[in-house]
Amino acid sequence: MKKLFSKYNYICHTCLTLIILLLIFCHRSDAYKDYYNVLVLHSYDPEYIYTKIFNSFLKEKFGEYEKPVNIYFEYLDAKRFDYNQYYQQFNEYINTKYKKRKIDFVLCFDDDALQYLLAERENLGSISSISVIFGSIVDRSLVYFSSLESNMTGVFEDVDIAANVEMMFQILPAKNIFVISDRTTLGMDLYEKARLVFKNMEDISVEYLIGVPWEEINKKLQKAPDKSAIFLLSYSRDDNDNVYSLEMVNELRPRQVFVGFLGTTPHVS
């Protein structure tokens, strides 16, 4: 788990370094300003490991900036809840809260936050025309649609599932693969990508466990045949609305079954 968190730290710091450079470039003409107000919209909750790393790094880097930066954090909490059910209420909340606050630019992280802004930004009052810089985006279609906007740019992640699968088979010559994911935006996107990778592997048995409660998954894994492996994509919420942290999943999984985690590479849009 420590190695996994170290990887997250590296990815987050690389992504945020690129974003800070974009911010400096995009606002290089605002030398007259005494301070900046930055709205940070996260896809996930404040206790999610990625979110905590991002926030810590943002505070550190903005604290070193030549002018004061006021950071306002907001969270869609999309891993634990289906935020599509409260779009309108969230719009009203943002409109009311920031109606009299001059926001200089918006940072958004992960697919759900960018998807929300692409769909709802025109309904966000004073924030609707503010520049957006995004980070940690996996769905390339979101990057494409953001490129059609006049004031959106950022950093996307190249999730190479094929390379991760290849690495898994190098470590363990598995014949039975259990692909585990949730039904979050990220989970379903990764599931579709994984399905394309595994569909042509004729000598490999693949079972997809999407949104299945962990208790049921665990029972299935306990009966898994030899040379079995888990390919874990994203698992934060099951179909019974139970919520799982990354640490919890790591503790729950059977120790005798190999687990492959995804690696990502940041790129500037």
Rounded distance between C-alpha atoms, residue 79 and residue 48, angstroms = 9
Give the pLDDT confidence score for residue 24 in this predicted structure. Answer: 56
Q: Which domain holds residue 184?
A: 161-262
pLDDT range class, residue 259, cuts 50, 70, 90: low
Which is more confident, 201 or 268? Answer: 201
35-79: per-residue pLDDT in tens?
A: 889 999 999 999 888 898 889 888 888 888 777 889 999 999 998
Is 81 in the same domain as 186?
no
**151, 188: one domain:** no
Let me know if residue 267 belongs to a domain: no
Whether residues 150 and 189 share a domain: the answer is: no
Q: pLDDT value at position 191?
A: 94
Lowest mean pLDDT among 16-30, 123-137, 156-170, 227-241: 16-30
For 173, counting Cβ atoms within 10 Å of its Cβ (0-12 exposed, 13-18 middle, 19+ buried), the class is exposed
Domain assignment of residue 268, yes or no: no
pTM of the model: 0.78
Q: Give Cα separations from 35 to 31, 55, 61, 136, 220 (angstroms).
A: 10, 19, 15, 26, 56
**34 and 141 part of one domain:** yes
Quote the percentage of the chain above a pLDDT of 70.
81
Mean pLDDT, residues 144-170 taken together: 85
Continuous H helices in the chain? 2-26, 49-63, 87-97, 110-120, 140-147, 161-171, 185-198, 214-222, 246-252
* pLDDT given at position 256: 46
Q: Are 55 and 141 part of one and the same domain?
A: yes
Domain boundary among 108, 141, 158: 158
Q: For 135-172, b where at least 16 C-beta lie within 10 A, e where not — what string? A: bbbbbeebbeebeeeeebbbbbbebbbeebbeebeeee
For residue 29, what pLDDT is reported? 52
**Is the domain of 228 the same as that of 145?**
no
CATH number at residue 257: 3.40.50
104 and 128: one domain? Answer: yes
Q: Mean of the pLDDT values across residues 80-108?
A: 90
pLDDT confidence tier of residue 22, bands split at 50, 70 and 90 = low
Determine, yes or no, domain membership for 49.
yes
205 in the same domain as 109: no
129 & 174 share domain: no
- Assign 2 a pLDDT band (cuts: 50, 70, 90): very low
Q: What total number of domains does the chain contain? A: 2
CATH number of the domain residue 32 falls in: 3.40.50.2300
Residues 154 and 24 in one domain: yes
Per-residue pLDDT at 3: 43
Residue with tokens 């059609």: 148
- Do 10 and 26 have their domain in common? yes
Q: Among the three residues 112, 127, 158, which one is the final residue of a domain in this structure?
A: 158
Same domain, 23 and 147: yes
Query: Residue 99: pLDDT band by 50, 70, 90 thresholds?
Result: very high
Q: Which residues contact 146 (CB under 8 A, 6 or more apart)?
A: 114, 118, 132, 134, 152, 153, 154, 269
Cα gap 80→126, rounded to integer Å:
28
For the cut 90, the answer to whether the pLDDT of residue 192 exceeds it is yes
Last residue of a domain, one of 140, 158, 176: 158
Residue 182 has pLDDT above 90, yes or no: yes
In the predicted model, is pLDDT for residue 145 greater than 60?
yes
Torsion angle of alpha carbons 96, 97, 100, 106, nearest 10°? -110
Share of the chain above pLDDT 90, in %: 35
User: Where does the pLDDT of residue 196 fall: very low under 50, low under 70, confident under 90, or very high at 90 and above?
Assistant: very high
Per-residue confidence at 5, pLDDT binned at 50, 70, 90?
very low
Whether 172 shows a pLDDT value over 50: the answer reads yes
pLDDT of residue 12: 53
